[in-house]
Amino acid sequence: GDFLDQLSFKGGKITRTQEHVHAINGISLDVKKGEALCVVGESGCGKSTVARTVMNLLRPSEGEIHYAGKRIDNLSHRALLPYRKQMQMIFQNPYASLNPRMTINQALHEPVKFHNPKWSHGQVLDKVHEVMEAVGVDPSWGVRFPHEFSGGQRQRISIARALAVEPEFIVADEPISALDVSIQAQVLNLLMDAQAERDLTYLFITHDLSVVEHFGTRVAVMYLGTLCELADTKELFSNPRHPYTKALLSAIPKLSDDREPPIKLTGEVPTPVNLPSGCVFHGRCPYANERCTQEIPQLKPDGTTMVACHGIDEGRL
């Protein structure tokens, strides 16, 4: 297809870490219009930092963010306003986007009015009803407060709140991880339907590769603040390149049967504060050599996949 970049993050670094903000070191990725790019990795790898940085909730120490061809990471609050409409975020905890003291009607009316100041009350009301119906929450429940809903319903409502301002691009950070397993698939399907019906582009953050297999167009695999591999979803599952990706895939029980013997991860996960030299994975990689401990591997094309690994580069993997 003839894709345009909806968003690109170039050379992104965050060095000022604090609680819940993990370092990222030289992340470059493009999200193409209409795709769902999934960012996968273990807790603490920096994937949420990527999400919050592209949303302008964190300012990168280095690097640039471009949205639809325009640089946005250096904009003033005022110049950012149109992007605050076009780019919406869905959090793991729906309470993060729902004020407990506002009814659902209030929570949904507020952003619609804010971003469409010329709309009549009737137009705002119609939009709020439309998105509530789209997420499967009866609009007559709008008079209730968030605590009166189940976790799954609350997440549906926060999705409705994101959709209500008619965004183009949605960053979803672990949107189903906090939900009951029995309703995770429903909420995932809801997000997929919304994407198809509203021409949305997604950056989808998850620690769960089995979710990605059915959802993502492409997958970016992160480890300790760096990007290991970026591939089309089918390609990643049928022909993973990076030793870390292979280890992650072999940990999915239903997939591991007829594959190469699983790679056993050795060693401890280093802390992102004191990053290892060279390849950040070298302490846990069974294929590490001298070069791996000294030189940072760069992302390079291998077929349609991009992978950062000296072993692959040297033809010994």
> Which residues here bind ligand SF4, judged by CB under 6 A?
242-243, 279, 281-282, 285, 287-288, 292, 297, 309-311
Least distance to ligand SF4, CB of residue 247, Å: 10
Residue number with CB closer to Mg ion (149 or 215)? 215
136/160 Cα distance (integer angstroms): 9
Interaction of residue 97 with Mg ion, rule CB under 5 A? no
Interaction of residue 206 with Mg ion, rule CB under 5 A? no
First to last CA, the chain: 31
Residue number with CB closer to ligand SF4 (108 or 248)? 248
Contacts 24+ apart (CB under 8 A), 130-138: 131/160, 131/161, 131/163, 131/164, 132/104, 132/108, 132/157, 132/160, 134/160, 134/163, 134/194, 134/197, 135/159, 135/160, 135/163, 135/190, 135/194, 136/190, 137/104
Least distance to Mg ion, CB of residue 45, Å: 9
157/206 Cα distance (integer angstroms): 20
Structure tokens given for 165:
């301002």
Residue 48 binds which of Mg ion, ligand SF4, none (CB < 5-8 A, kind-dependent): Mg ion
**Of these, 6, 8, 25, 48, which contacts Mg ion (CB under 5 A)?**
48
Least distance to Mg ion, CB of residue 208, Å: 12
Residue number with CB closer to Mg ion (46 or 278)? 46
Interaction of residue 158 with Mg ion, rule CB under 5 A? no
Residue number with CB closer to Mg ion (98 or 171)? 171
Least distance to ligand SF4, CB of residue 243, Å: 4
- Listing DSSP states for 33-62 in one string gives TT-EEEEE--TTSSHHHHHHHHTTSS--SE
Residue number with CB closer to ligand SF4 (32 or 241)? 241
Residue 281 binds which of ligand SF4, Mg ion, none (CB < 5-8 A, kind-dependent): ligand SF4
216/103 Cα distance (integer angstroms): 33
